[in-house]
Chains A and B, each alone.
Chain A
Amino acid sequence: MEIGLGTYLALASVLFGIGAVGFLTRRNILLQLMSIEVMLNSVNLTLVAFNRWTPGEPGAWNHHGQVFAFFVIAVAAAEAAVGLAILISLYRLKSSVESDSADLLKH
C-alpha cells in the first residue's frame, strides 16, 4: 500500500468521525470538550497533510497549511479555557457536570 495524501485524509476523517460520535453520545461536558479537541486535531492533520503535498520551493516555501494549523491550535486553547470555566460555573450552580443538567431555558 502506497501511503499518500489520501491515506492521511482518510485517517483524519476517521478521527473526526470518532470525535463527532463522542460529542453526540457523551453527556459529561468534560468528555464532550475532549471530543471537540479530537475533532480539531483531525482538521489540523488535514491542513498539515495538504501543506506537505504543496510545499513550494526552497527559499519560497508555502507554509499556509501549517500557519493555519498553528492558529487552530491557539483558538482551541482559548476554547478549552472558556469551556472549562463555564463547566466550573455550571458545577457550582447544579453540582453536576452533565450537559442535560443545564436546562434553565427549557422550563
Chain B
Amino acid sequence: MSAGGELIFLFCGFIAVVTAVLTVSLRTPLRAAVALLGHILSLAGLYLTLHAHLLAAIQLMVYAGAVVVLFIFVIMLIGPGAEPKTKTKWLTLRVGAASLMAMVGATLAFGVSSIDRPYVDIDQCRGAAAECGQFGGVDALSDAIFRQSAVPFELVSVLLLVAIIAAVAVARGHSPAEKKAIEARRAAQGGAAGGEGA
C-alpha cells in the first residue's frame, strides 16, 4: 500500500472509531445523527483506500444522502419527545453488558489482526476492450451487479418496494372514519365478552 493510502487509512480509521463512539454515547439524537454522518463519510474514505470507488460513491449517496436524512426527518417529526426523559435504570447490568461486548470486540480485533495476505497490486487493464473496466469502477462493478447477479438485484428491488409499502402502512395512522369503525368493533367485542361473563 502506498504511503498516501496508509495516511488516509490512519486518518479515516481514527475518525471512524471516534465518531462511532460519539454516535453510541451522545444523549441528544440529533447530535448522534451528525456523528453517524461523520462515521459514514470516513468509511467512504476507507473504501477509497480499498480501491472500491463506486461503492464509496454509493455509500455517500445512499447512507449520507438518504438514511441519515431519514433519521433527521424522524427526529424533527418527533420533536422534544426524542430526548431522553427518564433516569438511567439497570446501570450495573448495562455497564456489565457493555464491558463484556467491548471485551468480545477487543478479542476479535486482536485475533484477526494477525491475519495476513500478501499484498496484491491491482493491474490497470490494458487495451480498449469493452469488458476491460477498472477494478471497483463503474464498468466492472455494474457488469458484476447487472449481469452476474441480476436476479438478486431484482429481488432487492422487490424488497425495497415491500419496505416502502410496509413503512407507509405502519406509520400512516388512522383517519377519523377508520378510528370510529375500530372503536365500534372494539365496543361490540367488549360487549359480547361482558355478556358471556354475566
| CB contact list, A10-55 vs B, under 8 A | 10-11, 13-22, 24-28, 30-31, 33-35, 37-38, 41, 44-45, 48-49, 51-55
**A49 CA to B46 CA in the complex, in Å?**
9
A5 contacts B by Cβ under 8 Å: yes
Q: Tell me if A's interface is mostly helix, strand, loop or mixed.
A: helix
For the complex formed, measure the closest distance between the CB of A87 and the CB atoms of chain B, giving whole angstroms: 6
For the complex formed, measure the closest distance between the CB of B198 and the CB atoms of chain A, giving whole angstroms: 25
**A33 CA to B17 CA in the complex, in Å?**
18
Would you call B171 and A11 a contact (CB within 8 A)?
Answer: no
Q: Of B54, B74, B105, which one neighbours A18 at CB under 8 angstroms?
A: B105
For the complex formed, measure the closest distance between the CB of A38 and the CB atoms of chain B, giving whole angstroms: 5
Specify which of B47, B117, B132, B170 lies most central, judged by the most chain A CB atoms within 10 Å of its CB.
Answer: B170
Specify which of A9, A25, A100 lies most central, judged by the most chain B CB atoms within 10 Å of its CB.
Answer: A25
**A51 CA to B52 CA in the complex, in Å?**
9
How many chain A residues touch B (Cβ–Cβ < 8 Å)? 76
| CB contact list, B98-126 vs A, under 8 A | 98, 101-102, 104-106, 108-110, 112-117, 119-120, 122-126
Nearest B residue to A63 via CB reads B144
B82 contacts A by Cβ under 8 Å: yes
How many chain B residues touch A (Cβ–Cβ < 8 Å)? 95
Would you call B70 and A85 a contact (CB within 8 A)?
Answer: no
B94 contacts A by Cβ under 8 Å: yes
B193 contacts A by Cβ under 8 Å: no
User: Which residues of B are found within 8 Å of A88, using beta-carbon distances?
Assistant: 74, 77-78, 170-171
**A17 CA to B5 CA in the complex, in Å?**
25
Would you call B29 and A91 a contact (CB within 8 A)?
Answer: no
Given A19-B20, A41-B39, check contact A86 B145 (CB 8 Å).
no
Q: Of B43, B50, B123, B131, which one neighbours A57 at CB under 8 angstroms?
A: B123
User: Which residues of B are found within 8 Å of A87, using beta-carbon distances?
Assistant: 74, 78
**A76 CA to B66 CA in the complex, in Å?**
11
B-contacting residues of A (Cβ < 8 Å)?
3-11, 13-22, 24-28, 30-31, 33-35, 37-38, 41, 44-45, 48-49, 51-59, 61, 63-64, 66-67, 69-71, 73-82, 84-89, 91-92, 95-98, 100
